[in-house]
Structure 1
C-alpha cells in the first residue's frame, strides 16, 4: 500500500526491516539499549557490533532510554546509514500507553529530520514482546507519523511489517485515511 501525505510517500510493506535501503531504520529497543530479541535482535545481528559500541557510549552518558524517547546511532553493516532506537511502552491498558507509543514515532521522526534523513522505515513498535495489540497500536502509529510530518517532513516513510496480518491492518488503515491520496 502506497499513499501520499503532503509531499511524503507513506508505504506499508511486508518484509524485513534490516534489508531496507533507506537513510534510517527504527529499532524497537529496550530501555537498557542493550540488544534483545525480535526486531532489536535482528538489527544488531545484521548491523554488527558497531551499533552496540555506539550504544555503549550513549548508555555511559545518559544511562538507558525511557519509553517514548529515542536515540540515534550509525547503521553499522546495514544498508541504512542510521538506526534510531526507540523504546515503546510495555502494554498494560493504561491511559498513558497510546501517548508513549505516539511519542516513539514523533521522537524518531524528529531525530531523522534533525540528521537530514529523507527516508525512514519503522517496525510496528511494542506489538511483539511488549504485547501492545496491533489493532490498537497501528492507528496510533499512523496518526502519530502523519501528525509529525508537518514539523518533521521526510520524502518517504515505510511501515515494514513482519507478518501478513500486521501488513493487512496497516494497509487497511492507510487506505482508509481520508487525507491520503492513493498512488
Structure 2
C-alpha cells in the first residue's frame, strides 16, 4: 500500500518576498496563531521537517546535505519527541518500540540508520535513562527526521495535524533559544 501524497510544503505560500525567511533564524512572529491554512510552519527547519514527513525532502537519505544549525536541530528534536510521545505511552513494551523502529529503519534502509540508536532515542523521549549523550550528531539528525517521518505516517497525521505538530516543535525550539 503506497503512502498518500501530502500537499507540497507550503504550496508556494512563501513566494511573497515580504514573507520569505532566512535559513532557520527562528520564527518571524512568536505571537502568531497556531498552524493551519493561513499559518504554515514558521521556519525553513519546519518546512524541511514537513517535506521529510511527505517523503519530499530534497536531500539524499532525507537529511540535509549541508551544515545544520542548532535551531534546526532543536526543531527536529522537538518534533521527534512530540511524535514519539503521541505514538507511545511511557512504559510502552520494548517489543512495541522495537517493531516501530524496525519498520522505520527498513523503510529508510538506504539511510543506514542504526536501529539500536534509534530505539534508544525513542526510549529517552519516553523518559527512560539510556546512553544517548555520545551519539554521532549525523545519526541524531537522521533519526529525528526519518523516524519522525515514519511516526507521522504511522499516526496517519493529516495536513493540519502535521502543521500543528511542526508549529509546536518550532515554538518549543524558539522558547529554548530565548
Larger relative helix fraction: 2
TM-score of the alignment, normalized to the shorter chain, above 0.5 = no
Please give the TM-score of this superposition, normalised by the length of structure 1: 0.34
